[in-house]
Amino acid sequence: MELRILGCHSATPKPGEFPSSQALSVHNHWLVLDAGEGMQMQLRRYGVKFGRIKHIFITHLHGDHVYGLFGFLSTLRLLDRRTEMHLYGPPPLKRLLDEVFHATQVELTYPLHFHSLDADEPRLILDEKKFTVRSVPLLHRTPTTGFVIREKPAPRKLNPEAIARYPEIGIWAYHNLKDGKDFVRDDGSIIPNEELTLPPPAPRMYAYITDTAFNPAIVPEISGADVLYHEATFAESERHLAEKTGHSTAAQAAEIARMAGVKKLIIGHFSSRYRNLNVLLEEAREIFPETELAHEGKTLIF
């Protein structure tokens, strides 16, 4: 997986800072997570080709997560896109898009398939050959879902040196061995699969959680993630604002990471009140040392 953070700040604009949007490559499939204002400019800046994007996931309908969507979809029309696009988001998003396109007289040149999200319980929303995407209900002022992208288990790896010891194992048997099956010899004896193959790498997992109040209910859905992106809008000194607005503090994001046993935590969705984000980083690292700050252009390969 390759993650590129396009924007990681909250609603109030500041020079050089962009609202929420990310691009994630999974086995050469580019997914876009949220579409804050300026998203298409950031895609250009950080080298994500528009034509390779087939799926867009919108967490909720606050402007700092969706205002960039309309311009991007319109640009694809100007580029004469013909391949289909899949859009996942809250039910009212479809009506909003229809109104915008009607008012601006935009007729898309490509099929746009809208998938309505249920913010009440986790659901499998995309099932590709090598990965899945699940929605995760969050606690915010409006129906909101996070997203968990998980690789499917890879086939086992052949062990050429071990296989070479058994001349009767031909190429025809390799597919079954990769699938974990034992090899049955002509005399009926069995060569265990573990003797002929090597285990594949562990499936990777990415969790995108924004915007939400502190919500331990999500822990089972994100448990063991290689990377967790969790909003950290406020410091602990402004916890009362977090509770009022349905957001999390950096310490609360770190606590979720600790409870879920993730490998790395990236915090973002920062309030513009913080000129020095290290106050948020230090708070989180006291609880979960493997924490990093998000920033525009940050790239992770895992």
> What DSSP assignment string belongs to the chain?
-EEEEEE-B-SS-BTTB-BSEEEEEETTEEEEEEE-TTHHHHHHHTT--GGGEEEEE----SHHHHHHHHHHHHHHHHTT--S-EEEEE-THHHHHHHHHHHHTT---SS-EEEEEPPSSS-EEEEE-SSEEEEEEE--SSS--EEEEEEEPPPPPEE-HHHHTT-TT--GGGHHHHHTTPPEEPTTS-EE-HHHHEEPPPPPPEEEEE-S-S--GGGHHHHTT-SEEEEE--B-GGGHHHHHHHT--BHHHHHHHHHHHT-SEEEEE-B-TT-S-THHHHHHHHHH-SSEEE--TT-EEE-
The answer to whether 118 is a known catalytic residue is: no
**Exposure letters 236-258 (e unless 16+ CB within 10 A, then b):** eebbeebeebbbbbbbbbbbbbb
Residue 228, beta-bridge partner list: 207, 265
Catalytic residue among 64, 98, 182, 226: 64
Q: Enumerate the active-site residues.
A: 64
